[in-house]
Amino acid sequence: MKKHLEPVLSVSQCLEKIATEGIDQIRLAWCDIHGVTRCKTLTPRALRSALENGIGMVSTLLLKDTSDRTAYKVFESGGVDDLPGFGQGNNVLLKPDLKTFKVLPWCSNTAWIQCQAYFPNGTLVPFDSKSVLEHAVLQLSRMNMQLMCGLEIEFHIYRIKTPSNNTNPSLAQWPSLAPEVELIHPGYNLLSEAWADMAHEPLRIVQQTAQGLNLPLISLEIEFGPSQVEAVFEVTDVMTAADNMVLFRSAVRQALMRQGYYASFVCRPPFKQIMSSGWHLHQSLVDAKTHNNLFKRETSLAGVDPLHAQQTLSALGEHYLAGLLEHARGASVFCTPTINGYERYAPNALAPQSLVWGRDNRGALLRVIGECNDPGTRIENRQGEPAANPYLYMASQIYAGLDGINRRLSAPLGTDSPYQNDSDRLPRTLGEALEALSNDSYLVTSLGEEFVNYMTTLKRSELRRFEEAPDKLHFQSCEYFARI
């Protein structure tokens, strides 16, 4: 099991490291509800106070939709009555977590520390997305279990043309225009060595950035679509995996931008003949003390259908699988939070469409991988898009799986034909996904009705502006491609 690979610093050790290594800027970063990092950049002399007391951040950053518009009327009477602790653009506090301390490899003399949001009275803001996952992890720990996750992240890298739309002051708008870009490889030649050589320079930047941050990168691969690539990471505990995803996305975008490249984690960039990107989340439960894989089955069941879940999974693994299926519709908005992402669900596109699982089947929603007595036995959820907030994506999986375990749900037989079943479809739009969440009383209760109402308000603001936009492709280009 992977833990934080660097020792946790004390406040005095952190300050000493800052001084010894000549660091003159420290970014205090925070992951918002959309999975985007915001930051305040501090000087070394201001760091001690921030480490000990936190530093103020305007609370409206928690209330913004994907365009950076505040979705609540914070300056009107009653505008935030259902959000205690908010109003009039007041402050919350960012409190740094020294376990996340990094020195940025692409930015000289600069350190990075991730924070969480607290109210001035010292209580954690319930809408801080990392705290949502922390609460879910606590539920698992009470059952002496831990979720392990492996990340497969598809995304696009382009070469930026000069001059770029998003740096031309005469073209400034809200949200901003996306840059003009060129392909780094022409696509439609999966794992092509020739295309890998063509994309060598930007992939090298991604590799050096990830390794410089001590992220457990395994491989970088040429995906099928034009300019599409994939990054694969080692298995870690769920919180480390989520932290790694937040840092990886932000870091590679910055490092590539400095070298004239543009990375996008939007599912479908706004071009013709493009391939959708997914985020495949591998997951297994382990015993918190022994770290034994609780999904592993010693021997297959005799006299049962070959597509029975317990031909591969333990009884607990089957219950977890059934829970994921039971709540897949309700969890969709956490796995696929953008309007853009729902365009990915198409037949025979290696993307899911229906609520089915299959054994090593890349067309199914849930792909069960492993054989009897295989310590690598796991379930791969293929529903996610790479823009998803990792804390919410992973929390939704924990709660869904726990419901399956607690109710001892049985999974249906697996499928060999994932695109021939039109019943029990995944939501096809963001609006349908929001409706599915509101109808899933278990997920609403588990995540908290206050949190679900809050997130739904932000997503409906995004959806409403999309429906009013005269040019839907332009909306997605500015709202997603230019920002994610």
pLDDT at 165: 67
Residue ranges, the chain, pLDDT below 70: 1-6, 163-166, 421-423
pLDDT at 163: 65
Q: How many residues can be counted in the chain?
A: 484
Q: For the packed helices 315-326 and 390-406, what is the interaxial angle rounded to 10 degrees?
A: 120
What DSSP character marks residue 478? I
Residue at token pair 């205690």: 84
CA–CA separation, 154 vs 281, rounded Å? 11
Question: How far is the CA of 403 from the CAs of 320, 321, 410, 438, in angstroms?
Answer: 8, 10, 12, 17
Omega of the bond prior to 175 within 30 degrees of 0, cis?
yes
How many CB atoms lie under 10 A from the CB of residue 127?
23
Tell me which amino acid residue 79 is. Answer: G
- What domains can be seen in the chain, in order of their start residue? 11-77+90-125 (3.10.20.70), 137-481 (3.30.590.10)
CA–CA separation, 460 vs 480, rounded Å? 16
CA–CA separation, 390 vs 151, rounded Å? 10
Chain segment 12-50, per-residue pLDDT in tens: 999 999 999 999 999 999 999 999 999 999 999 999 999
How many CB atoms lie under 10 A from the CB of residue 71?
18
The SS3 call for residue 120 is coil
pTM: predicted TM-score of the whole model, two decimal places: 0.96
pLDDT at 58: 96
Chain segment 56-95, per-residue pLDDT in tens: 999 999 999 999 999 999 999 888 988 989 988 899 999 9
